[in-house]
Amino acid sequence: MSELPPSSGSFLHISITKLAIGSRLFVIVLQLIANQLLPDHNAGVFVAPHDKEAPDRPLDALVRFTLGGLNRWDGQYFLHIAEHGYTYENALAFFPLFPFILKIVSSALSSYEVVTFVSYRELSLVLAVLFNMVCFIGAAKALFRLSKHVLGSQKKAEIAVLLFCFNPASIFFTAPYTESLYAWLSFVVMYQSMEDVTSIFLTIPLSLSILCRSNGMFNIGFVLYFAVRRIVAQYNFHNVICICSRLFSMLIIVLFHYGIAQVYNYYLFCFVQKFNFPDHVREYAAEHGLVLAGNKTDDSSPWCTSLLPLSYSYVQSHYWNVGFLRYYELKQLPNFLLALPAIYLTLTNSYQYLCEHWDYAVRLGLFRLTKKQHKLMRPYDRFALVFVVHALVLTIFSLLFVHVQVTTRLLCAASPVLYWFTAEYFTGERTFIKRQVIRKLSKQVKDGEENSCTHVLNHIELSDLLDFRWMNGPQQAILVYFFGYTVIGTVLFSNFYPWT
């Protein structure tokens, strides 16, 4: 990979796929090695119960050997939900889309002979990794389309995708987590909101993103913003009525899907009823003091009696200690340091963007620019405001309310801004061009070659991005951060050590 051929649509389409697959295979191989060489840490967290009397199938040992390092932390919850459903109340912190997709596919395959060679849970793990690989490819392609549209530069979009493929939270995009699926859905929502915000097809990824992650609700903001922007740009009474009615219909459909999930949670934990759970599932609940579905008592599940009985905020607060400034303890200092690079990059670059375009930001980017303003502002300057605000809100919310180390993977999966900010260090004014290239281009100018300097003024080749020796300090720091977190995070995660 010393040099990549010139960019073209067909090449990039293949390149993104290969790059995405290659990065996922790198993570899989790395976790396999780390999981075999290092002992697992006893983290004292949820480990999904299994039937100890059930015999192993022929391929179970192979699956655990090759992919066992991915079945860690929250992955235990997702695979347990895929196998048994929402048996425990604390599992309601994990939204249903991802585990239910696994459950549907695993159940469908159970009618074939494949189930005789591998147990249900190991089959779910294999399917989760394969499904995440497909979603990761989709997310990379969606990010490229979105980045090219917003940044106005194919080269910048390429570098953003390259950084995405080796992002600091890379392990979570391969393990049985929702990061890959959510990133794909979110990038699609963002792109379609810019392209045609009134399209009824936008309802599909928007609804699914809300059923995938709690912060999927923030994606509604993109739909509302670009709808208002379109109303302002094409203002007349007929357009306003058409756009608002279409938008209202979309939001009703989206909230209806979200409401179904909440009604299902209420049905499971707010009534006394008998569910046929396996004995080992019931025993685990008794041993660890967990609230089992169908076992409602006067003291359990107080959220059931709320005016609006939504389980998520209660579960996060009661089981995960999530709340305003609850994480501000001296013992959590390492986690704050772990999240510091992502927080620093987002806050400093967002501050710089808002300072440079304050007048535009105050007007929310809704009103037409003068010809002079339009000429001075890049495409990114005109389109990025809502994305910058979205990233800022996520970052500040994470700092104040949630486990701060989650900020890294939250931003990596939910916002393209981190990749755009870091890509700017390799393509914008901060770019360091190595002297050999300058000398070569100077020679081309002397030889009369046309447009020879256009390239060096705007961006560098990806081959330059891979030449670590000729980078400046910020560029080296970014690559060390992205690739270092990919490697260290994979090694630690695969052995049950704390990570982001």
Structural domain range at position 174: 17-430+470-494
* 285 pLDDT higher than 70: yes
* 465 pLDDT higher than 70: no
Kindly state the average pLDDT of the residues 49-58. 87
State the pLDDT at residue 357: 85
Kindly state the average pLDDT of the residues 52-75. 91
Q: How confident is the model at residue 223 (pLDDT cuts 50, 70, 90)?
A: very high
Model pLDDT for residues 138-159, shown as the tens digit of each residue: 999 999 999 999 998 888 898 9
Q: Burial of 258 by CB count in 10 Å (0-12 exposed, 13-18 middle, 19+ buried)?
A: middle
Q: How confident is the model at residue 302 (pLDDT cuts 50, 70, 90)?
A: very high
- Higher pLDDT residue, 442 or 300? 300
- 443, part of any domain: no
Q: What percent of the chain has pLDDT over 70?
A: 86
Number of H helices and E strands in the chain, helices first, is: 23, 0
Total number of residues shown for the chain: 500
* pTM, 2 dp: 0.89
State the pLDDT at residue 428: 63
* 437 pLDDT higher than 80: no
State the pLDDT at residue 53: 85
Lowest-confidence region among 130-144, 271-285, 356-370:
356-370
- 184, part of any domain: yes
Kindly state the average pLDDT of the residues 420-424. 91
Kindly state the average pLDDT of the residues 65-87. 95
Kindly state the average pLDDT of the residues 68-82. 95
State the pLDDT at residue 115: 66
Half-sphere exposure in the Cβ direction for 366 (13 Å, CA)? 13
State the pLDDT at residue 153: 85
Q: How many domains does the chain have?
A: 1
State the pLDDT at residue 52: 85
Q: How confident is the model at residue 451 (pLDDT cuts 50, 70, 90)?
A: very low
State the pLDDT at residue 234: 74
Q: How far apart are CA 79 and CA 47, in angstroms?
A: 10
Kindly state the average pLDDT of the residues 231-243. 78
* 10 pLDDT higher than 80: no
Half-sphere exposure in the Cβ direction for 174 (13 Å, CA)? 29
Kindly state the average pLDDT of the residues 91-96. 95
* 56 pLDDT higher than 70: yes
Q: How confident is the model at residue 107 (pLDDT cuts 50, 70, 90)?
A: confident
Cβ-Cβ contacts under 8 Å for 273 (sequence gap 6 or more) = 294
- 455, part of any domain: no
Model pLDDT for residues 350-386, shown as the tens digit of each residue: 999 999 888 888 888 777 666 666 666 777 888 889 9
* 450 pLDDT higher than 50: no
State the pLDDT at residue 230: 85
Between CA 463 and CA 467, with CA 466 as vertex, the angle to 5 degrees is 95
Contact 32, 71 (CB under 8 A): no
Q: How confident is the model at residue 466 (pLDDT cuts 50, 70, 90)?
A: low
Q: How far apart are CA 417 and CA 393, in angstroms?
A: 12
Kindly state the average pLDDT of the residues 78-101. 95
Between CA 165 and CA 174, with CA 171 as vertex, the angle to 5 degrees is 80
Q: How far apart are CA 1 and CA 15, in angstroms?
A: 12
State the pLDDT at residue 342: 95
- 437, part of any domain: no
Half-sphere exposure in the Cβ direction for 388 (13 Å, CA)? 27
* 23 pLDDT higher than 70: yes
- 447, part of any domain: no
* 468 pLDDT higher than 70: no
State the pLDDT at residue 68: 93
Kindly state the average pLDDT of the residues 485-496. 95
Phi, psi of 88 (to 5 degrees): -115, 145
Lowest-confidence region among 160-174, 378-392, 449-463:
449-463
Residues 298-332 as b/e (b if ≥16 CB within 10 A, e otherwise) read eeebebeeeeebebbebbbebbeebeeeebeeeee
- 463, part of any domain: no
Model pLDDT for residues 408-418, shown as the tens digit of each residue: 999 999 999 99
Q: How far apart are CA 20 and CA 32, in angstroms?
A: 19
- Higher pLDDT residue, 451 or 267? 267
- 45, part of any domain: yes
Within 10 angstroms of residue 206's Cβ, the number of other Cβ atoms is 27
- 414, part of any domain: yes
* 429 pLDDT higher than 90: no
Q: What percent of the chain has pLDDT over 90?
A: 60
- Of the chain, the end-to-end C-alpha distance in Å amounts to 30
Q: How confident is the model at residue 180 (pLDDT cuts 50, 70, 90)?
A: very high
Handedness of CA 152, 361, 413, 336 (dihedral sign): positive
Kindly state the average pLDDT of the residues 338-345. 95
* 75 pLDDT higher than 50: yes
- Higher pLDDT residue, 447 or 268? 268
